[in-house]
Amino acid sequence: MGSLGAMLKHPDDVYPLIKLKIAARQIEKQIPPQPHWGFCYTMLQKVSRSFALVIQQLPIELRDAVCIFYLVLRALDTVEDDTSIATEVKVPILIDFHRHIYDREWHFLCGTKDYKVLMDQFHHVSTAFLELGKNYQEAIEDITMRMGAGMAKFICKEVETIDDYDEYCHYVAGLVGLGLSKLFHASGTEDLASDSLSNSMGLFLQKTNIIRDYLEDINEIPKCRMFWPRQIWSKYVNKLEELKYEENSVKAVQCLNDMVTNALSHVEDCLTYMSALRDPSIFRFCAIPQIMAIGTLAMCYNNIEVFRGVVKMRRGLTAKVIDRTRTIEDVYGAFFDFSCMLISKVDHNDPSASKTLKRLEIILKTCRDSGTLNKRKSYILRAEPNYTPALIVVFFIILAILLGYLSGNKPHSL
Ligand code: CA
């Protein structure tokens, strides 16, 4: 749960935080009894709690397919990321991975912690995969094959140009978007979205993570590969790691703003993609991560802390996004609010300022043109209400009761 200090500053975070906590406990109780499905859903919670939460509301057949799709790709990613595997061993595994998922006997030991367990017990994932409908299996196989081939291509290739950056992000995230669109379509509730819109959905999320994780990635031992494109950072420094040194603060923030501006180019497509969705559970599944991404970019933009520590949305705001994202109006509202926040942070001396502002104006216009902004529940930029001392006392009493109710349950991070 959020820290007490954060909750005091944002008392209206408390209710969504408690709802989220209860939802998380519900999920733990709903692990399927069959051992292979039990393994898959337990694993999903371990490797991504937030994903396990948003996946939960999908219709069961689609949920199973998305769960397996996610675990297969996490396993593929574990192979890609394990720097202890020699290239000549790694490349054939990446390329053949779409065949291994049909083989209950196949496994390959690599990765650490939960990922190591996932790899070691991969037969559970294969078993569950083989129980999915044929059209789900084919969609997962096709995307795994293309992603594995793309990862293999980039094992020996640096991300030099912006085109390389887009290509790498297409393999590791854009293809996830394409795959999910196929699974939604296979479930019978959605039209098949275009590849280019689906790709943008993945790229926007991936680029946000790449920006936010600069420091974590650059400090990783053994050295992690970096995905900030040389074409962007070389305008500011001679080596990518120089961005983290104090003396380069001005250049670092300028480079960061350039990267954020690049990521913003996908927002239009993302809004178009989401506006076409019909099923409310699929809509929420797609929209929550997108709002988290624009929120994260708004926090990171023009913020030197990206090079000093961890920048992310506070837990309470995340809980609010999960609680309040129901319709496309909520999405336009959130993108509008976060874009306003971004505009207010633009420094006119920044080399990318005019480009950034142009992109943000386009997003604001799209949100305004939707004609839904007056109906929105604005929860991001609204001034915090004034709380009287009596209200604060009542708040603490309720909090104490609720904490008592939730006690015995270990605190988990999202
Ligand atoms: Ca990876």
168 is catalytic: yes
Residue 82 CA to ligand 1 centre (angstroms): 9
CA distance 147 to 79: 12
User: Of the candidates 354, 146, 353, 170, which has an alpha carbon nearest to the alpha carbon of residue 266?
Assistant: 170
**Which pair of tokens denotes residue 340?**
């306003």
User: What residue ranges do the domains of the chain occupy?
Assistant: 200-217+225-391
- Cα(378) to centroid of ligand 1, in Å? 36
pLDDT of residue 277: 98
H-type alpha helices, 56-156: 60-81, 87-100, 113-120, 122-130, 134-155
Q: Which residue has the tokens 């915090």?
A: 384
Whether residue 61 contacts residue 133, with contact meaning beta carbons closer than 8 Å, is answered with yes
CA of 242 to the centre of ligand 1 (A): 23
227: annotated active-site residue: no
Distance 162 CA to ligand 1 centre (A): 18
Distance 81 CA to ligand 1 centre (A): 5
Is position 39 annotated as part of the catalytic site? no
Ligand 1 centroid–CA 95 distance in Å is: 15
Q: Enter the DSSP assignment of 179.
A: H
How far apart CA 321 and CA 315 sit, in angstroms, is: 10
CA–CA separation, 206 and 370 (whole Å):
26
CA–centroid distance, 76 to ligand 1, in Å, is 8
Cα 410 to ligand 1 centroid, rounded to whole Å: 30
Give residue 80 CA to ligand 1 midpoint distance, Å: 5
Query: Which residue out of 168, 236, 301, 338 is catalytically annotated?
Result: 168
Structural contact between residues 150 and 142, judged by C-beta atoms closer than 8 angstroms: no
SS3 assignment, position 222: coil
- Is 397 exposed, middle or buried (CB count within 10 Å of its CB: 0-12, 13-18, 19+)? exposed
Query: From the CA of 79, how far away is ligand 1's center (Å)?
Result: 8
Q: How far apart are CA 73 and CA 115, in angstroms?
A: 12
Q: Which of 285, 307, 335, 338 is catalytic?
A: 285
The Å distance, Cα 115 to ligand 1 centre, comes to: 12
284 is catalytic: no
Question: Choosing from 63, 225, 230, 314, which is the catalytic residue?
Answer: 225
Contacts of 120 (CB under 8 A, 6+ apart): 107, 109
Amino acid at 286: C
Q: pLDDT at position 383, please?
A: 41
| pLDDT in the model for residue 399 | 80
Q: In sequence order, what are the residues at sequence separation of 6 or more whose Cβ sits closer than 8 angstroms to the Cβ of residue 403?
A: none
* Cα 148 off chain centre by: 20
d(CA 333, CA 328): 8
Residue located via tokens 């680029």: 207
Classified by CATH at the fold level, domain 200-217+225-391 comes out as Farnesyl Diphosphate Synthase (1.10.600)
User: Residues in the chain, how many?
Assistant: 414
List the catalytic residue out of 51, 115, 171, 212. Answer: 212
How many Å lie between the centroid of ligand 1 and the Cα of residue 198? Answer: 20
Region of 236 on the Ramachandran plot (φ > 0 left; ψ -120 to 50 alpha; else beta): alpha
Amino acid at 21: K
pLDDT tens per residue across all 414 residues of the chain:
557 777 788 888 888 888 888 888 888 788 889 999 999 999 999 998 888 888 988 999 999 999 999 999 999 999 999 999 999 999 999 999 999 999 999 989 999 999 999 999 999 999 999 999 999 999 999 999 999 999 999 998 999 999 999 999 999 999 999 999 999 999 999 999 999 999 999 999 999 999 999 999 999 877 778 899 999 999 999 999 999 999 999 999 999 999 999 999 999 999 999 999 999 999 999 999 999 999 999 999 999 999 999 998 888 999 999 999 999 999 999 999 999 999 999 999 999 999 999 999 999 999 999 998 977 666 555 444 445 566 677 777 778 877 777 775 554 544
Q: Are 90 and 83 in contact (CB under 8 A)?
A: no
| Tokens 């030197």, located at residue | 304
